[in-house]
């Protein structure tokens, strides 16, 4: 697949003066719930109502969705509010049912994107449709797997495509339910600048309180839209209760978020510089995180040295590290002087930590 302007026609056709907003509950629960939420979203910036009706659950025994019955509730919500509707499809049967019920946009979930067989099955079932198809990133941080799914859909002659960034699972506990790995989405955006990129802050966050900040990062990184899980009674939602926000909160968020528009030279300059600055912020955050991790390992070495009565400073080892890093730095256009200064500072901080461990 190559980058083509036409990739974003479907989005441009909406003619929105703000990013595309997709909102609605994690799962359709009852007809009343779907309609209540849809009506509360009716006058918001949300153009599209989402609701999962077939729910992929990590472990059996949780609520697995209401099934095809929910499609009727979504259709009713569309009739009553004029919102477009979208749901997740995870096999060919889901695709047939969704198309029969005139679902306007289909999305492929993170647990499906990991499986080329299922993606191919869905791609085959989608042939001939002009409905937009949004492909969530796979659960593991693998850009080729994500692009592979996009290509399978594209090869099935689906012209209206977008991608949803919902974060990646990690074994290590982080502050997120799914680690954003912004760099990966930025790489995808650099390769396909015209492929609409939508942020799902809800599944990245896993909890309400950081959703606003994630939305702002997404907008600063020039994402084309947001998919936000929204429920009239989040605490009592049947799935993903901790991460859903109310329609009223969403309306407030859309008011408070800084949405940048591309108009005029100055605005374009500001837009570009903001995007670049946000990229720098993301990388700086990663730098601090990685330095923190390095220090934890240095502390473990300190404890080991203490237990074995070994001196903190090991000159030979340190010179080896420096030599290697200067060479690696050169390959990345970093001057020897900079690499030396940076590693001396890091090394000094490790020594300070280890000294404290050995002589508490
Ligand atoms: C969802 O959108 O409710 C969902 C199940 O998402 P994901 O595929 O990102 O886990
Ligand atoms: Mn969910």
Helix and strand numbers (H, E) in the chain are: 14, 8
Q: How far apart are alpha carbons 322 and 324 in whole angstroms?
A: 5
Residues whose CB falls within 8 Å of the CB of residue 153, separated by 6 or more in sequence, listed in order:
108, 119, 122, 123, 126, 133, 135, 161
pTM, rounded to two decimals: 0.82
DSSP state at residue 156: T
Q: Which ligand is nearest to the CA of 241?
A: 2
| Closest to 70 (Cα-Cα) out of 48, 87, 53 | 53
Angle at 139 between CA 196 and CA 237, to 5 degrees: 85
Give 100 Cα–ligand 2 centroid separation in angstroms.
Answer: 24
Q: Which ligand is nearest to the CA of 52?
A: 1
Residue 58 tokens read as: 């990590």
**Residue range(s) defining the domain that contains residue 340:** 267-358
DSSP output for 171-225: SS--SSSSB--HHHHHHHHHH-TTS-EEE-HHHHHSSGGGHHHHHHHHHHTT-SE
Query: What per-residue confidence (pLDDT) applies to 56?
Result: 81
Looking at the fold, whether 327 and 234 belong to one and the same domain comes out as no
Asked if residue 261 belongs to a domain, the reply is no
Give 110 Cα–ligand 1 centroid separation in angstroms.
Answer: 6
Residue nearest to atom 10 of ligand 1 (CA): 110
Residue nearest to atom 1 of ligand 1 (CA): 26
Pick the residue with more confidence: 266 or 136? 136
Calculate the average pLDDT of the chain: 93
Looking at the fold, whether 249 and 333 belong to one and the same domain comes out as no
SS3 assignment, position 168: strand
Looking at the fold, whether 116 and 48 belong to one and the same domain comes out as yes
Asked if residue 262 belongs to a domain, the reply is no
Residues whose CB falls within 8 Å of the CB of residue 62, separated by 6 or more in sequence, listed in order:
55, 239
CA distances (Å), origin 250, targets 5, 196, 253: 30, 21, 5
| Closest to 321 (Cα-Cα) out of 299, 303, 346 | 346
Query: What per-residue confidence (pLDDT) applies to 265?
Result: 66
Of ligand 1's listed atoms, the one at least distance from the Cα of 202 is: 2
- The CATH code of the domain that includes 232 is 3.20.20.70
Average pLDDT of 304-327?
86
Query: What per-residue confidence (pLDDT) applies to 158?
Result: 95
- Model confidence at 116: pLDDT above 90: yes
Q: Which ligand is nearest to the CA of 166?
A: 1
Looking at the fold, whether 65 and 102 belong to one and the same domain comes out as yes
Helical packing angle, 211-220 and 264-307, nearest 10°: 120
Of ligand 1's listed atoms, the one at least distance from the Cα of 50 is: 2
Cα separation of the two ends of the chain: 59
Of ligand 1's listed atoms, the one at least distance from the Cα of 26 is: 3
Pick the residue with more confidence: 56 or 186? 186
Give 200 Cα–ligand 2 centroid separation in angstroms.
Answer: 10
Question: What percent of the chain is predicted at pLDDT more than 70?
Answer: 98
Which tens digit of pLDDT belongs to each residue from 288-308? 999 999 999 999 998 998 888
Where among 234, 256, 278 does a domain terminate?
A: 256
Where among 221, 256, 291 does a domain terminate?
A: 256
Give 14 Cα–ligand 1 centroid separation in angstroms.
Answer: 24
Task: Look at 20-24, 258-262, 278-282, 300-304 and tell me which has the smallest mean pLDDT.
Answer: 258-262
Confidence band (pLDDT; 50, 70, 90) for 313? confident
Residue nearest to atom 4 of ligand 1 (CA): 109
Looking at the fold, whether 226 and 299 belong to one and the same domain comes out as no
Looking at the fold, whether 35 and 106 belong to one and the same domain comes out as yes
Test site for ligand 1: of 54, 133, 136, most ligand atoms within 8 A of the Cβ:
136
Looking at the fold, whether 114 and 236 belong to one and the same domain comes out as yes
Q: How many domains does the chain have?
A: 2
Average pLDDT of 271-278?
85
Backbone conformation region of residue 75, classed left if phi is above 0, alpha if psi is from -120 to 50, else beta: alpha
SS3 assignment, position 87: strand
Average pLDDT of 222-238?
97
Residue nearest to atom 9 of ligand 1 (CA): 110
Residue nearest to atom 6 of ligand 1 (CA): 109
Looking at the fold, whether 210 and 273 belong to one and the same domain comes out as no
Give 25 Cα–ligand 2 centroid separation in angstroms.
Answer: 8
Taking the CA atoms of 219, 222, 224 and 229 in sequence, report the sign of the dihedral they define. negative
Backbone conformation region of residue 102, classed left if phi is above 0, alpha if psi is from -120 to 50, else beta: left
CA-derived radius of gyration, the chain: 24
Q: How far apart are alpha carbons 201 and 181 in whole angstroms?
A: 12
Residue nearest to atom 2 of ligand 1 (CA): 26
CA distances (Å), origin 80, targets 29, 32, 77, 116, 142: 18, 13, 5, 37, 40
Of ligand 1's listed atoms, the one at least distance from the Cα of 52 is: 3
Of ligand 1's listed atoms, the one at least distance from the Cα of 55 is: 5
- Model confidence at 246: pLDDT above 60: yes
- Model confidence at 337: pLDDT above 90: no
DSSP output for 290-341: HHHHHHHHHHHHHHHHHHTT--S--HHHHHHHHHHHHHHHHHTT--HHHHHH
- Model confidence at 264: pLDDT above 70: no
Give 29 Cα–ligand 1 centroid separation in angstroms.
Answer: 15
Give the length of the chain: 360
Q: Which residues keep their CB under 5 angstroms from ion ligand 2?
A: 26, 240
Pick the residue with more confidence: 354 or 228? 228
- The CATH code of the domain that includes 300 is 1.20.59.10
Which tens digit of pLDDT belongs to each residue from 192-206? 999 999 999 999 999
Confidence band (pLDDT; 50, 70, 90) for 309? confident
Q: How far apart are alpha carbons 250 and 247 in whole angstroms?
A: 5
Beta strand spans in 111-188 (E): 133-136, 161-165
Which residues line the pocket of ligand 1, CB cutoff 6 A? 26, 52, 56, 109-111, 136, 166, 203
Query: What per-residue confidence (pLDDT) applies to 263?
Result: 53
Residue 198 tokens read as: 């939508």
Of ligand 1's listed atoms, the one at least distance from the Cα of 109 is: 8
Average pLDDT of 123-149?
97
Pick the residue with more confidence: 261 or 312? 312
């Amino acid at each position: 697949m190559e980058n083509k302007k036409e990739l974003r026609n479907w989005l441009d056709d909406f003619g929105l003066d703000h990013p595309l907003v997709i909102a609605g509950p994690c799962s359709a629960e009852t007809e009343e719930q779907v309609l209540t939420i849809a009506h509360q979203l009716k006058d918001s910036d949300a153009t599209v109502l989402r609701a999962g009706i077939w729910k992929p659950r990590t472990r059996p025994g949780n609520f697995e969705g209401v099934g095809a019955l929910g499609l009727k509730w979504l259709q009713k919500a569309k009739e009553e509010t004029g919102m477009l509707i979208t749901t997740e499809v995870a096999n060919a049967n889901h695709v047939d049912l969704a198309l029969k019920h005139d679902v306007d946009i289909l999305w492929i979930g993170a647990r499906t994107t990991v499986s080329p067989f299922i993606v191919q099955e869905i791609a085959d079932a989608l042939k001939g449709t002009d409905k937009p198809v949004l492909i969530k990133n796979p659960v593991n941080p693998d850009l080729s797997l994500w692009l592979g799914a996009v290509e399978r859909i594209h090869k099935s002659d689906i012209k209206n495509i977008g991608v949803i960034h919902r974060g990646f699972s990690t074994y290590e506990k982080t502050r997120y339910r799914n680690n954003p790995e912004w760099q990966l989405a930025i790489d995808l955006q650099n390769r396909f600048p015209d492929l609409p990129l939508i942020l799902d802050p809800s599944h990245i966050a896993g909890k309400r309180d950081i959703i606003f900040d994630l939305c702002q990062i997404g907008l600063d990184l020039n994402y084309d839209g947001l998919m936000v899980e929204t429920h009239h009674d989040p605490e009592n939602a049947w799935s993903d209760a901790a991460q859903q926000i109310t329609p009223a909160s969403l309306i407030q968020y859309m008011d408070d978020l800084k949405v940048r528009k591309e108009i005029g030279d100055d605005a374009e300059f500001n837009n570009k510089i903001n995007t670049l600055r946000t990229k720098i912020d993301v990388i700086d955050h990663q730098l601090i995180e990685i330095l923190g991790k390095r220090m934890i390992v240095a502390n473990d070495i300190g404890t080991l040295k203490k237990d074995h009565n070994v001196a903190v400073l090991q000159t030979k080892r340190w010179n080896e590290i420096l030599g290697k890093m200067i060479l690696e730095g050169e390959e990345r256009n970093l001057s020897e002087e900079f690499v030396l200064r940076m590693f001396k500072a890091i090394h000094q901080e490790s020594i300070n930590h280890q000294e404290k461990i050995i002589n508490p």
